[in-house]
Chains A and B, each alone.
Chain A
Amino acid sequence: MSGLDGKRWHDMGGALAGPIPQDDHDFALWEKRVDALMILASGAGHFTVDGLRRALEDMGEAAFETMTYYERWVAAINQNLLEQGVYSIAELGEKMQAVQARGETYGEASNAG
């Protein structure tokens, strides 16, 4: 928020900024999975892309600057699923702990065996 105009950080049209970055990357498997989860959760009627955007905006500018695109997406998807009661915070906490205990790499941890 920058003063009386009520402008929020994500509303960046017209701001001055540096050159357009030209680098690009292919998405990692875990990022593609995040993308898929959004489509599937909204397809199942749990929330819409509007809910995703609202959560992304409410995460604030620091998140935009410090987290990658799909890191922000998975946080926003989780926020909506918690709000809609798809699972509880306790269930999430327990699951994340179990996932982390499986190994030290994504490959190990994503394999529930």
Chain B
Amino acid sequence: MPHDHHDHDELSPSGHPYRADQDGPLSYWQVMEIAVRELMIEKGVTTAEAVSAQIEAMDARNPAHGAAVVARAWVDPAFRARLLADGSAACAEMGFDVGPMRLIAIENTADVHNVVVCTLCSCYPRNLLGLPPDWYKSRAYRSRTVREPRKVLSEFGLELPAGVTLRVHDSTADMRYLVVPARPEGTADLSEADLAALVTRDAMIGVGVAKAP
């Protein structure tokens, strides 16, 4: 099976080792995962191949996809307009299949900074950016970002000037959010690919800004 990682040296797509879950003592919830998966297969809900394919599809999603979308919006005003009008359609145009996810792109400007949180659970644009970081799902981030967002941003090293309006987006229902960070100064000569390298995951959540070249 392609996803049985018996080799501890094997790296995940993000370049980190998989957690050593294959050889540790079996946990109750791991037993349940195996049992649920096998019952779903036996009942015809899914197949082993579909499970593997789904994991591969999710592993392939990562912040570089979102970064490519942002860089395109920086260099192509018509694309930027389409992205802000319909985020899902604009991503599809670039070949990123975001599935049934309804994406709203929100743009940072000189006067406005956007940040995204989900206070009720941990909704995240996973079909574009991959799975969320652990902190995004934490009680602290979910609780505080709507109440003291500037303090939260400062913990990420981002001090917003007093003149900038902060827009906090609580992802409460069916929409998912992609922050389009402001294009950094001094990047007029950079290629689209070089621009994309400046766009971090945190900048697309809104807890950071794009890197300087």
Question: Is B31's beta carbon under 8 Å from chain A?
Answer: yes
Please tell me if the beta carbons of A106 and B140 are within 8 angstroms of each other in the complex: no
Please tell me if the beta carbons of B22 and A105 are within 8 angstroms of each other in the complex: yes
Please tell me if the beta carbons of A40 and B23 are within 8 angstroms of each other in the complex: no
Task: Write the chain A residue with the least CB distance to B36.
Answer: A78
Please tell me if the beta carbons of A77 and B19 are within 8 angstroms of each other in the complex: no
Please tell me if the beta carbons of A29 and B18 are within 8 angstroms of each other in the complex: yes
Please tell me if the beta carbons of B140 and A17 are within 8 angstroms of each other in the complex: yes
Please, how many angstroms separate the alpha-carbon atoms of A19 and B58 in the complex? Answer: 29
With a cutoff of 8 Å between Cβ atoms, the chain A residues found around residue B17 in the complex are: 26
A26-B38 contact given A37-B51, A74-B32, CB 8 Å threshold = no
With a cutoff of 8 Å between Cβ atoms, the chain A residues found around residue B138 in the complex are: 20-21
Interface string of A28-66 (1 = CB under 8 A from B): 111111111101110010100000010010000000100
Please tell me if the beta carbons of B12 and A86 are within 8 angstroms of each other in the complex: no
Question: Is A104's beta carbon under 8 Å from chain B?
Answer: yes
Pick from B26, B36, B50, B143: contact of A16, CB below 8 A: B143
Pick from B25, B58, B120, B152: contact of A10, CB below 8 A: B120
Name the distance in Å between B137's Cβ and chain A's nearest Cβ: 6
Question: In chain A between 94 and 113, which residues have their CB closer than 8 angstroms to a CB of chain B?
Answer: 95-96, 99-100, 103-112
Please tell me if the beta carbons of B146 and A14 are within 8 angstroms of each other in the complex: yes
Pick from A14, A46, A56, A107: contact of B45, CB below 8 A: A46
A28-B21 contact given A71-B29, A109-B34, CB 8 Å threshold = yes
With a cutoff of 8 Å between Cβ atoms, the chain B residues found around residue A86 in the complex are: 39-40, 43, 45
Question: Is A22's beta carbon under 8 Å from chain B?
Answer: yes
With a cutoff of 8 Å between Cβ atoms, the chain B residues found around residue A81 in the complex are: 36, 39-40
A105-B152 contact given A10-B120, A16-B144, A40-B51, CB 8 Å threshold = no
Name the distance in Å between A62's Cβ and chain B's nearest Cβ: 14
Question: In chain B between 27 and 55, which residues have their CB closer than 8 angstroms to a CB of chain A?
Answer: 27, 29-40, 43, 45-46, 50-51, 54-55
Please tell me if the beta carbons of B155 and A74 are within 8 angstroms of each other in the complex: no
One of B1-9, B88-96, B108-116 at the interface: B1-9
Please tell me if the beta carbons of A92 and B39 are within 8 angstroms of each other in the complex: yes
Interface string of A1-18 (1 = CB under 8 A from B): 000000000111111111
Please tell me if the beta carbons of A17 and B144 are within 8 angstroms of each other in the complex: yes
Known: A28-B18, A39-B58. 7 other contacts (CB 8 A): A12-B119, A19-B155, A20-B140, A26-B14, A26-B18, A36-B55, A86-B45
